[in-house]
Structure 1
Amino acid sequence: MRFLMNVVHDSTEPATEDEMAAIDAFNVVIEASGQRVMAAGLAAPSNSAVVDARGARSSVTHGPAVEADDFVVGFWVIDAPDKDAAMLLAAEASQACHRRIELRAFL
């Protein structure tokens, strides 16, 4: 099963050197085990745009889709045998990056 692990934080401050070292170590482990599909950090919400082309005319709004105190600053896509295994990886990810992790299964 594939899962999305969103890294949720309330600041655009980058990870510290210690956090980056822990994230890199976590990535090495899940890549070696074949569980890491991909991972990436994301630009600040202020650099985003929302494109809506559902109607006759499309529109672009600069900024995030939803104004919130917390936002996604990065993510992992992982492959795990079940939700319990994914939950364990999410806990390890949270410890590594020192941020909350939102775990969601792919449909």
Structure 2
Amino acid sequence: MSRYLIAIHHPEDYDAALEDEAMGRDIDALNEEMVAAGVRVFVGGLQPVRAAKAVRRQPDGGLSVTDGPYIETKEHIGGFWVLEAANMDEALEWGRKAAAACRAPVEVRGFN
């Protein structure tokens, strides 16, 4: 079995307060299905991107800490699952279910 990341992408201005009860039930059901299938290793939701800190190495070897994400983009990872799956095709099946439950695009990527 290999491990895969399924990352949920939210727009920069995503407001979690707008998530409805149906979406919460769908995500809960997906989590239960993943546990029952024995594929879920870890799951986590992330705080809003405005709460992020970025640590950068400076040319002199020092480190700086700044507010905000490391990369300025229009979308950010809002949450993720780490799964154990037989192959990318199986991980993509879970990714499809995640995209449907979260009503958001997801990225499926294997670990080295």
Determine helix, strand or coil for the equivalent of 1:93: helix
User: 1:66 & 1:85 partners in 2: Cα distance?
Assistant: 30
Note the 1:1-107 alignment, pairs <5 A.
Answer: 1-10=2-11, 11-14=13-16, 15-53=19-57, 55-107=60-112
What is the identity, as a one-letter code, of the residue corresponding to 1:13? D
User: 1:19 & 1:57 partners in 2: Cα distance?
Assistant: 44
How many pairs does the alignment contain?
107
Structure 2 unaligned spans of 5+: none
What is the identity, as a one-letter code, of the residue corresponding to 2:78? V
Asked whether the equivalents of residues 5 and 80 of structure 2 are also in contact (C-alpha less than 8 Å), the reply is yes
1:73-107 deviations in Å (ceiling 9; x for gaps): 00000110001001111001111111111011000
Determine helix, strand or coil for the equivalent of 1:86: helix
TM-score for the superposition, normalised by structure 2: 0.89
Q: How much has 1:25 moved relative to structure 2?
A: 0.3
TM-score for the superposition, normalised by structure 1: 0.93
State the 4+ residue runs in structure 1 displaced beyond 6 angstroms: none
**Identical positions, percent:** 32
Structure 1 unaligned spans of 5+: none
Determine helix, strand or coil for the equivalent of 1:85: helix
Determine helix, strand or coil for the equivalent of 1:103: strand
